């Protein structure tokens, strides 16, 4: 058996150019979260003149292989699923790509249960894995998400093998026999000198300097992950990148929000932190200080969580599910030092997002506290985490909806929504009387629970419309409270 998988691996080992020959015109090619393949998408784009109508479904568009540029619409039809990302957002704005909304709890229902003609089969899947272990199992590294579940459903699975990928406990593996083709590619580590060399041709100088300011703060081991993504981001959006990566120093209003969220968290609670700002920055602001026996069951990791394990704040002792273990579906939000500590560590378990964030799973975890961010919230408690300027898609909600609803259904659970009181440098209120037409309601008002801004805590669960409005007006920015009070009076008396 030992020799069999090794022979099978050698037999399936091909170049990227050879691997992507399996893609035919009209096929659906899926690249799951988070996209890291460096050679497969590029090799597929090289076939642009011989392919027609290839449906590319990407969950979180990373580097641009070429099909984001104009002129290739006949060869590649792009769908962004669950997440948008800065590199692909302009294409969505221009109506040259489509968006597939969804939540992880329902991600595979149509694929599994709907008759032919209603579902969209997966013809080819691109994933990144580690090399095989001594028993022939490859790891999906620190980013599992839904890759294993897609691999079960795809007609052909192509794995790009990267020696940098770590191994974790949980359900984060796939056997050589379940993969059709292997392409070996381990990106080199990027030193400061190599990064500067890569950026030398970037114009104008302002953009080059911004890119360097971001990349110099990223660990050498992670630069190859972020460099190609950042190269595709418009200059005006680069200011958001350090918050997304986790290297930005939290601002004062985030530290204030952390203080209020800390009042909601109790000893023994099982926590989830969303990947957006400000929720992903709260741990670094001391939100867990002074707490005892906390647990972790979260889709995404954020910097500081592993340190809280080291400090004995997170013990997972009181969890009724996966007791003693910190459960994630991705570790990408951690620092490189934290990720290295998670490698082959039995205290850390990584499972598929369809399990970790499933509303049924989350609601079965006692004292579950979901902590996420919002773009805006109206006076009835409707939470928008996806659109700006009414109907412009900013990003999908990923696991936020599942975990928020699951938390409200959990015995002793709480759902916390963090929102800065203003946006656009103070020009607009993020707490609004009514959402503008076209705004996506990510979380219905029925599940609105705690809302936290830098001005306090609004407690909405079980409240009337009038009571909710009063709670939210009280945590709005003072510059907008009078107008919000007036509108609340008009709506609710």
DSSP run (H or E) holding 28: strand 28-31
End-to-end CA distance of the chain: 74
Name the residues annotated as catalytic.
299
DSSP 393-440: E----TTHHHHHHHHHHSTT-EEEEE--SEEGGGTEESEESSPPTT--
Q: What CATH number is given for 252-492 in this structure?
A: 3.40.1080.20
Q: Which of 405, 487, 402 is nearest to 448 (CA)?
A: 405
Whole-number pLDDT of residue 258: 98
DSSP 278-317: TGGGTGGGTTTTT--SBEEEEEE--TTHHHHHHTTSB--T
The ranges assigned to domains in the chain are 2-184, 192-245, 252-492
Between the CA of residue 449 and those of 138, 192, 294, 446, 468, what are the distances in Å? 41, 46, 21, 9, 10
Whole-number pLDDT of residue 384: 98
Domain 2-184 shares a fold with domain 252-492: yes
Whole-number pLDDT of residue 3: 67
E-strand ranges in 63-171 read 76-81, 98-100, 124-129, 137-139, 156-161, 169-170
Torsion of CA 213, 219, 223, 226, to 10 degrees: -70
DSSP run (H or E) holding 181: strand 181-184
Is the distance from CB of 329 to CB of 356 less than 8 angstroms? yes
Q: What CATH number is given for 2-184 in this structure?
A: 3.40.1080.10
Instruction: Measure the CA–CA gap between 289 and 303, rounded to whole angstroms.
Output: 15
Whole-number pLDDT of residue 118: 74
* Residue 181 backbone dihedrals phi, psi, to 5 degrees: -140, 145
Give the tens place of pLDDT for each residue, 105-163: 999 999 999 887 777 799 999 999 999 999 999 999 999 999 999 999 999 999 999 99
Give the tens place of pLDDT for each residue, 235-252: 888 888 888 788 888 999
The distance from CA 230 to its chain's CA centroid, rounded to whole angstroms, is 16
Whole-number pLDDT of residue 2: 60
Tokens 């003149």 found at: 49
Regions of the chain with pLDDT less than 70? 1-3
């Amino acid at each position: 058996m030992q020799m069999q998988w090794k022979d099978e691996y050698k037999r399936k080992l091909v170049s990227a150019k050879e691997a992507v020959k399996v893609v035919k015109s009209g096929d659906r090619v899926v690249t799951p979260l988070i996209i890291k393949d460096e050679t497969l998408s590029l090799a597929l784009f090289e076939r642009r003149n011989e392919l027609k109508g290839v449906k590319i479904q990407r969950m979180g568009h990373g580097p641009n292989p070429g099909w984001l540029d104009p002129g290739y619409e006949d060869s590649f039809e792009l769908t962004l699923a669950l997440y948008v990302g800065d590199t692909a957002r302009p294409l969505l704005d221009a109506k040259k790509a489509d968006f597939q909304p969804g939540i992880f709890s329902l991600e595979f229902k149509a694929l599994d249960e709907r008759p032919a003609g209603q579902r969209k089969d997966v013809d080819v899947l691109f994933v990144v894995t580690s090399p095989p272990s001594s028993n022939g199992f490859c790891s999906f590294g620190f980013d599992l998400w839904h890759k294993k579940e897609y691999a079960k459903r795809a007609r052909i699975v192509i794995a790009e093998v990267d020696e940098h990928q770590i191994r974790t406990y949980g359900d984060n593996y796939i056997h050589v026999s379940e993969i059709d083709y292997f392409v070996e590619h381990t990106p080199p580590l990027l030193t400061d000198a190599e990064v500067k060399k890569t950026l030398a041709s970037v114009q104008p100088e302002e953009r080059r300097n911004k890119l360097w300011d971001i990349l110099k703060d990223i660990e050498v081991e992670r630069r190859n992950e972020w460099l190609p993504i950042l190269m595709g981001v418009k200059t005006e959006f680069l200011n958001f990148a350090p918050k997304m990566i986790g290297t930005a120093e939290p601002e004062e209003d985030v530290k204030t929000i952390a203080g209020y969220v800390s009042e909601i968290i109790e000893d023994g609670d099982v926590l989830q932190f969303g990947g957006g700002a400000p929720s992903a920055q709260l741990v670094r602001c001391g939100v867990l200080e002074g707490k005892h026996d906390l647990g972790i069951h979260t889709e995404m990791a954020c910097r500081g969580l592993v340190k809280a394990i080291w400090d004995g704040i997170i013990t997972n002792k009181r969890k009724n599910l996966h007791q003693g273990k910190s459960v994630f579906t991705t570790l990408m939000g951690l620092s490189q030092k934290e990720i290295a500590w998670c490698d082959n560590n039995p205290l850390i378990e990584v499972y598929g997002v369809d399990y970790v964030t499933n509303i049924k799973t989350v609601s079965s975890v006692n004292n579950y506290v979901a902590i996420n961010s919002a773009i805006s919230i109206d006076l009835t408690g409707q939470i928008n985490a996806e659109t700006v300027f009414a109907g412009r898609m900013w990003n999908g909600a990923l696991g936020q909806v599942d975990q928020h609803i699951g938390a409200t259904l959990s015995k002793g659970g709480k759902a916390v929504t963090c929102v800065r009181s203003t946006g656009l440098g103070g020009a607009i209120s993020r707490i609004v009387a009514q959402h503008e037409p076209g705004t996506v309601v990510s979380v219905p008002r029925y599940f609105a629970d705690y809302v936290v801004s830098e001005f306090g805590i609004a407690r909405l669960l079980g409240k009337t419309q009038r009571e909710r409005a009063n709670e939210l007006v009280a945590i709005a920015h003072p510059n907008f409270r009078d107008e919000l009070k007036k509108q609340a009076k008009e709506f609710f008396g």
